[in-house]
Amino acid sequence: MASKNYYEILGISRNASEKDIKQAYRRLARKYHPDINRADKSAEAKFKEINAAYEVLSNPEKRKKYDQFGEQWQYADQFSKSGGQRGVKWDFGKGGTRFEYGNLSDFGDIFSSLFSDSGIGSRTKRGPRRGQDIESPIEVTLEEAYHGSTRLMQLQTEEPCTACGGTGKVGNRACTICGGAGVKLNPRRLEVKIPAGVKDGSRIRIAGEGRPGLAGGKKGDLYLVVKVLPHKSFERKGDDLYTEIPVPLATAILGGEVRLPTLNGSISLKIPPETQNGKVFRLAGKGMPQLGNNKYGNIFAKVKVILPTNLSEEEKKLFEKLQSLRLP
C-alpha cells in the first residue's frame, strides 16, 4: 500500500481543497464499508486504503510531507535532518523501512459521525466511544476581549441521517431526507461566554457540542478559536496596549494635562514641562486583563506633539520673539 497514490485512491486531483477531500472520503467510505459489502472480500482492503489516504490528505502537515516525499512522507523529519541529500537510505528496525498506518479502530474522523446512529460500523463489538472534537473560528473586538461578553451563535451541527442510516440511500434511490448525503444539519442557537483577556489563538471550550459519540458514547467538544479584530486606536502586544496621545505644543512646552482614552473610560495624563515629541509614558495596570486572573497589562502612550496651524499675526510675532531669544 506504500506505493499507492493517495490522490488516485480518493479520486481527486493534487490541488483538491479540504472540502473536496472530505466529500470524496464520505462517498467512498459509504460505498466500500465492509459491513455494507459483506459478500465482497476486496471491499475491506479498499476501505483500508481509503482510510489510510484520508488520514494523510486530511491533515495539512501530513499532506505537505506526502506531496514532498511521496510514500516516505512518514520519515520526512529524518530526511530533512540529513540535509535533503539524495540516496540516503533509512533503515528502521531489522526488516528495513516499514510503513505502518493507523489502526482503523482508532481512526476518529468523520466516519464516526456518519455511522454513529446507523448500526453500521465495526464488525466487532466495541464499548462506547467519545465523539470527535471540532473547531470553529470566532471574531471578537478588542473591547469584547477586554470586558468579556456573551455571544448568541447559530450553530449547524452535523448529525447522521436516521432515515437512511447514514448510507444516503433508501432502497435504490437517494434518501429524500438528506438528499443522498447521509447526514443532515441540525440548526441550534447557543449562548457563548467570551472570557475577559482572550487573545488571538485562545480556544473557548464548549462541552458536548462536538461530533456525536459511538455506541452511546459522549459527544465531543466544540472549541471556538479566537481572532481579535484590529483596533483603530490601540495595538495589542500580549497583555500590553500601545497607542499615540496627541499633545498640543504649548502643553508639551509648559506642561499640563491631557485626556487619554482607554478601554475602560478616559483618564487624565500629566504632561511634564518640556516633554519631547515621541516620549513614551507607561500607565501600569491600564492594559488588557490577563486571562484567568485579576492582573492587568500596561498602556504605553507615545506623545505626538500637535503643531498649531492658522496662526494669527500676534502669534507669529510671539514665535518670532521666542526664536530670537533662543538664538545663540
Average pLDDT, the chain: 80
Q: Say how many domains are in the chain.
A: 3
Say yes or no to pLDDT of 183 above 70.
no
Q: Which of 230, 251, 266 is the last residue of a domain?
A: 230
Among residues 269, 266, 274, 272, the alpha carbon closest in space to that of 258 is found at 269
Q: What domain range is 209 assigned to?
A: 130-230
Q: What is the pTM of this model?
A: 0.55
Q: Which of 230, 259, 293 is the last residue of a domain?
A: 230
Kindly state whether residues 13 and 44 are assigned to the same domain: yes
What is the per-residue pLDDT across 185-228, written as a single tens digit (0 to 9) for each?
777 788 889 999 999 999 999 898 887 777 778 888 889 999 99
Residue 123, domain member (yes or no): no
Say yes or no to pLDDT of 271 above 90.
yes
What is the per-residue pLDDT across 288-307, written as a single tens digit (0 to 9) for each?
999 888 899 999 999 999 99
CATH classification at residue 166: 2.60.260.20
Say yes or no to pLDDT of 101 above 70.
no
Kindly state whether residues 39 and 16 are assigned to the same domain: yes
Report the half-sphere exposure of 173 (CA within 13 A, side-chain side): 4
CATH classification at residue 57: 1.10.287.110
pLDDT confidence bin for 120, thresholds 50/70/90: very low
Q: Which of 75, 107, 139 is the last residue of a domain?
A: 107
- d(CA 245, CA 257) in angstroms, rounded, equals 11
pLDDT of residue 151: 87
Kindly state whether residues 210 and 255 are assigned to the same domain: no
Kindly state whether residues 97 and 158 are assigned to the same domain: no
Kindly state whether residues 148 and 51 are assigned to the same domain: no
Say yes or no to pLDDT of 246 above 50.
yes
pLDDT confidence bin for 236, thresholds 50/70/90: very high
Say yes or no to pLDDT of 65 above 80.
yes
Mean pLDDT confidence for 2-30: 85
Low-confidence winner among 35-44, 139-148, 266-275, 298-307 (lowest mean pLDDT): 35-44
Kindly state whether residues 103 and 9 are assigned to the same domain: yes
Kindly state whether residues 268 and 315 are assigned to the same domain: yes
Residue 84, domain member (yes or no): yes
Kindly state whether residues 102 and 2 are assigned to the same domain: yes
Mean pLDDT confidence for 36-50: 81
Kindly state whether residues 275 and 316 are assigned to the same domain: yes
Kindly state whether residues 213 and 246 are assigned to the same domain: no
